[in-house]
Amino acid sequence: MSGTVSSSIDFDKRGKQSGYLQAGDSTNNSGWATFNLPIHSINSGSGPKVLIIGGNHGDEYEGQFAVANLIRNLKETDIAGGLIAIPSVSYPASYASTRLWADGTNFNRIFPGNENGLIPEKIAHYLATELIPQVDVVIDIHSGGRGFQWLEGATMTWSDDKKYRSDLIKNLNAWNTRYSMIFPPQPGTNEKSLLPGYVASLGKSLFTGEFGGAGVTTATSNRITRGALVSALKSVSLLKSDWQSDSYDHKVEVVNREFIDMRSSDSYHWAEEEGLYQNKKRLGERVEKGEVIGAIHFPESADRKPHLVLAARSGTVGVIRGYPRVKRGDCVTLVGESYSDLSQLPE
């Protein structure tokens, strides 16, 4: 129960409603202010309850568009159960086109939030204590933002809990994307401080995905995101299996599915110098260990040779660098072994 955030809509009420999560705020220009976060609810009675979050990071727009457009196109009769959707949970960051909030907060590192904290912390606390506990399924849609470009696809963070892991794998498959990527918990990070990590700690069913990035959403990446979201919602029996919509074009042909295993530390390639990064390989391209996958140029020194980044392992390129001005320690490329079937994935 949050004492600092309230909802203008009642999620138990039947029908389609739009309103705001309202967090107490006090700013230089408005001493007594309310931060209004748009939220939507569609409730048709019995069935699964699903929470969809877009824009966890501000500059990851694919999910924000997919969620906002979905809500506009859904009626109460299209679903069996309850849907709560926040299209752009970090919208001040979206308008600034930044990953983080203006106060420097990374919304995906502050769970379970703080009732008496900053605005994003209050919102996170409300999600953690009010919204996530009342739903069965959480869908959190990401992309590469400005820094990365991903193969558009489903993702999962490997779990040691076998029962929970099998549910994650089921959902990874249910997104029905051409590419899926599996990675380990992020090093040096409290997994439960992430929205999905917090959801996992409560044992709730979880869908995550990375749908493109590098500061451009294309018609294709947006359509892939819509198609995946529809597949996910049908797989949990919230959206009726025969639902389709011309105004919410979600038709994506999925062939030759690949599951890319990025759990091993040699999947990750880091900038070892500060400079101007050049991607030498394309997304989805096969590389061999030792091949040049990128080059860091030094534009300020006219005759210094570029620093080459070599593939630490063989595999498929799943992520390339977006913003090319890299600092030492920035992740520039992810490479992983590709499997055509999830059952081939090693333990």
Q: Which amino acid is at 117?
A: G
Going residue by residue from 222 to 261, which x/- string records binding to other proteins, judged by CB under 8 A? x---------------------------------------
DSSP per-residue letters across 36-59? EEEEEEEE-SSS-EEEEEE-SSTT
Establish if 333 lies at the interface with other proteins (CB under 8 A).
no
Please pick, from the candidates 217, 267, 316, 338, the single residue that binds other proteins as defined by CB under 8 A.
217
**Closest Cα to residue 81, out of 164, 11, 170, 10?**
11
Query: Which of 73, 86, 321 is closest to 215 using CA atoms?
Result: 321
Kind and range of the H or E element at 91? helix 91-96
**Selected range binding other proteins among 89-97, 129-137, 159-167, 193-201, rule: CB under 8 A:** 89-97
Report d(CA 284, CA 278) in Å as an integer.
17
271 interacts with other proteins by CB under 8 A = no
Other Cβ atoms less than 10 A from the Cβ of 108: the count is: 24
Rounded to a whole number of angstroms, the minimum distance from the CB of residue 97 to other proteins is 5
Tell me the site size for other proteins, rule CB under 8 A: 55
User: Per CB under 8 A, which region of 76-84, 184-192, 253-261, 315-323 contacts other proteins?
Assistant: 315-323
Q: Out of 302, 327, 343, 347, which residue is the one contacting other proteins (CB under 8 A)?
A: 302
Q: Where does this chain touch other proteins (CB under 8 A) — which range of 86-94, 101-109, 237-245, 263-271?
A: 86-94
Helix (H, G, I), strand (E, B) or coil at 35: strand
Write the binding mask 36 to 75 for other proteins: x where contact by CB under 8 A, - elsewhere.
x-xxx--------------x---x-x--xx--xx-xx---
Of 19, 24, 185, 284, the residue at the interface with other proteins (CB under 8 A) is 19
First-to-last C-alpha distance (Å) of the chain: 39
Smaller CB separation from other proteins, 304 or 344: 304
| Cα(191)–Cα(157) distance, integer angstroms | 10
CA distance 198 to 108: 10
Among the listed residues 144, 151, 148, the one whose alpha carbon sits nearest the alpha carbon of residue 283 = 151
Strands (E) in the chain, as ranges, are 5-7, 15-25, 33-43, 49-54, 82-86, 137-142, 148-150, 153-157, 179-183, 205-210, 258-261, 268-270, 275-279, 286-287, 292-297, 307-310, 315-321, 325-326, 331-339
**Of 73 and 314, CB closest to other proteins:** 73
Shortest distance in whole angstroms from residue 164 CB to other proteins = 32
Residue closer to other proteins (CB basis): 206 or 326: 326
Of the listed pieces 74-82, 134-142, 176-184, 296-304, which binds other proteins according to CB under 8 A?
296-304
- Interface contacts to other proteins, rule CB under 8 A: 18-20, 36, 38-40, 55, 59, 61, 64-65, 68-69, 71-72, 87-88, 91, 94-97, 146, 149, 214-220, 222, 276, 278-282, 285, 295, 297, 299-303, 305-306, 320-325
